[in-house]
Amino acid sequence: MASKKNKNKNKKKSNSQIETKLAASVAIPYQTFRERSSPDGISLLKKIAIHVDNTQKETVLWKDIQQVFPNVLCIKNEDTDVPFVKNGDFENSLPLRIICLPDVVLNVVSKDYERTDPADIPMPALELLSLEIEIDP
């Protein structure tokens, strides 16, 4: 009887070891992001887990993005804003989330972002001065 208990314990140990190995080998789907705040142009890629929402869309939660990038303002795919997922009334779905684009590195625009492209810098407005000249006859 004692040998049966030992066999069951060994089975449990080996099953949990197998489950641990399987869990370690299963890849967690993720979205890759790059922060656009570095003036020197060097930015590290960060990966954030993907979640499937109730509509079966792969999404990234805004809270997860904020944890990695605390000063995030918006997310861009090249120069196009990535909007939040909308509900049937075209309002932002809660919790806030964006659609996943797995083969794309999305850009995180943060409060610290510095414009480096001269085309992005607004030109100062020129003020026209009026000058009145009085002529004595």
What pLDDT, in 10s, does the model give residues 9-57? 555 555 666 555 555 556 789 999 998 755 666 688 999 999 999 999 9
Grouping H, G, I as helix, E, B as strand and the rest as coil, residue 74 is: strand
pLDDT at 131 exceeding the cut of 90: no
What pLDDT, in 10s, does the model give residues 107-126? 999 887 655 454 554 555 55
pLDDT at 130 exceeding the cut of 90: no
Give the CA radius of gyration of the chain.
28
What pLDDT, in 10s, does the model give residues 85-109? 999 999 999 999 999 999 999 999 9
Note the pTM of the prediction, 2 decimals: 0.62
pLDDT at 128 exceeding the cut of 60: no
